[in-house]
Amino acid sequence: MIISIIGPTGVGKTKLSVELAKRLNGIIINCDAMQVYKYLDIGTAKIKESEKEGVPHYLFDFVEPTENYTVFDYQQDARRLIEENKDKTIIFVGGTGLYLKAALYDYQFQELNDTNYDKYSNEELYELVCQINKETDIHINNRKRMIAYLKRGGITPKSKELYKSLYIGLTTERQNLYKIIDDRVLKMFENGLEEEVRKLYDKGVHSKALETAIGYKELYEYFSGTITKEEAIEKIQKNSRHYAKRQYTFFNHQLPVKWFNVNYNNFKETINEVYEYVENNKSTLSLK
């Protein structure tokens, strides 16, 4: 069976995934777009070896940060792992909803096109995007992302679910989540985030991953002298909060999620609640 553990950044998905995998003799497949990259450890909150507790983990830490690992690449790798592990409980965990849906639903990809979109207004670009996917989460003011989407021909989502999954979402009250995120960013700096990113910057590593990864792009600005360190920290916190908001929007509109409020005073209670839900619903799942 397949279980997908999703939710906003910092909510506790990693810990839950390991505990469930131990109880269900499962494997874990990453569905966080940035955790596929090597050397992006602290800023992506990548699981440590000591935290895996013997559970097999896949699609973590295997792509060079100079490479461009796409959602199409992820779709191929994730489906291969599903087919190779049909006899096991497969647990997807991460916050990149598009990756998860591309793996489990009938998402189709088209070839890149060479159309020049420079003369198109944002409204015209948005209309073209909506012709491909009327439920797009791309904002009308995000011109760069709309053009990139159209250049690659779009990702055409179909409604058919190729692999059945239980979608388990972890959540907490919004203000509590924002405090968790802000505190988490400060903890990352205590754990060496600045030093981690500085190594990449000093090596001259510039790539799409580092241009988009929260925690890395802001520190690159700081290292280049564009902003101060304090401003970088504030931007990381703000961008992380905004990202969490976008994650909620995608999950609620795109996936049939069963949400669980996390008990941070007794996380074991949340684990037991989720486990009971899985046990009561696993008969509805089967790998096709």
Averaged pLDDT of the chain: 91
The pLDDT, as a whole number, for residue 155 is 58
Whether residues 79 and 200 fall in one domain: no
Question: pLDDT tens for residues 66-110?
Answer: 998 988 899 999 999 999 999 999 999 999 998 999 999 988 766
Range of the domain at 127: 111-153
What are the beta bridge partners of residue 157? 107
85 contacts 29 by C-beta, under 8 angstroms: no
Inform me whether the pLDDT recorded for 170 exceeds 50: yes
- In DSSP notation, 194-262 reads HHHHHHHHHTT---HHHHHSTTTHHHHHHHTTSS-HHHHHHHHHHHHHHHHHHHHHHHHHHS-EEEEE-
Residues 187 and 274 in one domain: no
Paired tokens of 118: 């420079």
Examine the domain organization and report whether 206 and 180 are in the same domain. yes
- For the stretch 197-206, pLDDT in tens is 999 999 999 9
- pLDDT for 156: 56
| Residue 49: CATH number of its domain | 3.40.50.300
* Structure confidence by residue, pLDDT tens digits, 214-244: 999 999 999 999 999 999 999 999 999 999 9
Residues 169 and 262 in one domain: yes
Question: What total of structural domains would you count in the chain?
Answer: 3
Lowest mean pLDDT among 27-31, 113-117, 189-193, 278-282: 113-117
Rounded distance, CA 259 to CA 44, Å? 23
> What CATH code is carried by the domain that includes residue 236?
1.10.287.890
Predicted confidence (pLDDT) at residue 157 exceeds the cutoff of 70: no
Handedness of CA 71, 31, 169, 185 (dihedral sign): negative
| Segment 245-266, tens digit of pLDDT | 999 988 998 899 999 999 999 9
- 66 and 164 both lie in a single domain: yes
Residue 98 and residue 93: Cα distance in Å, rounded? 13
Q: Are residues 116 and 206 in the same domain?
A: no
Same domain, 29 and 85: yes
What is residue 42's predicted lDDT score, i.e. its pLDDT?
97
pLDDT tens digits, 3-46: 999 999 999 999 999 999 999 999 999 999 999 999 999 999 99
- Are residue 216 and residue 275 in the same domain, yes or no? no
168 and 253 co-located in one domain: yes
Is residue 112 over pLDDT 70? Answer: no
Report the alpha-carbon angle 61-268-247, nearest 5: 50
Closest CA to 85 of 223, 287, 240: 287
Split at pLDDT 50, 70, 90, the class of 288 is: very low
- Indicate whether 117 and 212 sit together in one domain: no
List CB contacts of 193: < 8 A, sequence separation 6 or more: 42, 43, 215, 219
- Give the mean pLDDT of 137-157: 79
3-class secondary structure, 172: coil
